[in-house]
């Protein structure tokens, strides 16, 4: 079975996130490494890190996902923006070694008119600067919706980055279901076919995590607007096919739906019911909304 969780606030520390995840029957979670719109990270509390590690072991958690802030753009036109991205990612990866064996997810960036041919080697170069042989963290490139000049809306673009990264055994891909739907992949009618294409272009061994989100927009819209599970264009039947797919077994599946904690709890319970064979794929979960995560 997959591990199931959601995006949580790290404001009260790592151990608190672990306790919160356990309370809503999650066995993984995602958090921002720092303010998603800002730059500075909080000082590490090593005792807090140790308590989370022990809790994860006791509760049989799967890998957790640290999400880089939105402000980094390793393929920006601006040298200072590129330098900020490298500095941030390098610091994040070293800090993640206090929570060893987990994932670090980031948006590849936007070329802002310079073109993918320029951007892809620049992104790979940034990764080659920040990754180091001793790291236990696996870096994840996230699939994108293709807004504006985003890199990563196609599997082929991600593969071009992957093949240029030197520490190739320490990098993988996180599929965001809203993003690839908005990017044009037909996961509603042909999720098997999309995974076959992923395997052909990237390789399923690179698939390390899933962001499970419904979408407010039709396929190919390139909008990136998350919806609660069952409330968007994907619907519960598509969600069921994804969460039950054998290629997803063993992966962390993280919700970034526009929810508060009680809504996440209900969605996690619905997914567990589906996996146990007792779920009704046609139900709709109505919950309060908050800012989306991506």
pLDDT band at 278 (very low <50, low <70, confident <90, very high): low
Is residue 282 a part of any domain in this protein? no
Is residue 291 a part of any domain in this protein? no
| Residue predicted with more confidence, 53 or 36 | 53
Return the CATH number at 267. 3.20.20.150
| Residue predicted with more confidence, 176 or 277 | 176
Rounded Cα gap, residues 290 and 252, in angstroms: 23
pLDDT band at 255 (very low <50, low <70, confident <90, very high): very high
Q: Determine the pLDDT at residue 283.
A: 42
- Is the pLDDT at 30 greater than 80, yes or no? yes
Is residue 256 a part of any domain in this protein? yes
- Is the pLDDT at 281 greater than 70, yes or no? no
What letter would DSSP give residue 62? -
- Is the pLDDT at 150 greater than 50, yes or no? yes
- Is the pLDDT at 9 greater than 60, yes or no? yes
Least confident of 14-18, 136-140, 276-280, 281-285: 281-285
Residues 6+ apart with CB under 8 A from 181: 187, 188, 215, 219, 233, 234
Q: Determine the pLDDT at residue 36.
A: 75
Is residue 26 a part of any domain in this protein? yes
Q: What is the DSSP string of 124-174?
A: HHHHHHH--TT--PEEEEEP----TTBS-SSHHHHHHHHTT-SSGGGEEEE
Domain range for 212? 3-276
Is residue 125 a part of any domain in this protein? yes
Q: Determine the pLDDT at residue 37.
A: 73
Q: Determine the pLDDT at residue 38.
A: 65
Q: How would you classify the pairing of strands 171-176 and 138-142?
A: parallel
pLDDT band at 62 (very low <50, low <70, confident <90, very high): very high
Is residue 20 a part of any domain in this protein? yes
- Is the pLDDT at 122 greater than 80, yes or no? yes
Is residue 162 a part of any domain in this protein? yes
- Is the pLDDT at 227 greater than 60, yes or no? yes
- When divided into structural domains, the chain yields a total of 1
Q: Give percent of the chain above pLDDT 90.
A: 90
Is residue 163 a part of any domain in this protein? yes
Q: How far is CA 94 from CA 104, 128, 137, 168, 233, in A?
A: 11, 14, 9, 18, 39
Q: What is the average pLDDT score of the chain?
A: 93
- Is the pLDDT at 11 greater than 60, yes or no? yes
- Is the pLDDT at 163 greater than 80, yes or no? yes
């Amino acid at each position: 079975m997959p591990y199931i969780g959601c995006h949580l606030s790290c404001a009260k520390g790592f151990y608190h996130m672990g306790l919160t995840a356990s309370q809503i029957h999650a066995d993984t979670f995602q958090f921002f490494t720092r303010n998603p719109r800002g730059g500075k990270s909080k000082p590490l509390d090593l005792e807090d890190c140790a308590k989370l590690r022990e809790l994860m072991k006791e509760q049989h958690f799967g890998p957790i996902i640290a999400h880089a802030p939105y402000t980094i753009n390793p393929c920006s036109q601006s040298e200072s923006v590129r330098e900020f991205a490298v500095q941030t990612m390098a610091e994040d990866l070293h800090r993640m070694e206090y929570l060893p064996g987990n994932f670090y997810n980031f948006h590849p960036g936007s070329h802002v008119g310079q073109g993918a041919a320029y951007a892809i080697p620049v992104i790979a170069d940034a990764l080659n600067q920040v990754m180091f042989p001793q790291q236990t963290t696996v870096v994840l490139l996230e699939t994108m919706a293709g807004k504006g000049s985003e890199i990563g809306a196609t599997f082929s673009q991600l593969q071009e980055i992957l093949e240029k990264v030197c520490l190739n055994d320490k990098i993988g891909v996180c599929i965001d279901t809203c993003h690839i739907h908005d990017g044009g992949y037909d996961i509603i009618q042909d999720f098997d076919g999309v995974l076959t294409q992923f395997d052909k272009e990237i390789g399923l061994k690179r698939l390390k995590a899933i962001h499970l989100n419904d979408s407010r927009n039709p396929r190919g819209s390139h909008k990136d607007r998350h919806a609660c599970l069952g409330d968007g264009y994907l619907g519960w039947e598509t969600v069921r096919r994804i969460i039950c797919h054998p290629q997803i077994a063993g992966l962390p599946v993280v919700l970034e739906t526009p929810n508060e904690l009680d809504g996440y709890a209900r969605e996690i319970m619905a997914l567990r019911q589906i996996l146990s064979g007792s779920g009704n794929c046609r139900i709709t979960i109505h919950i309060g909304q908050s800012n989306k995560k991506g």
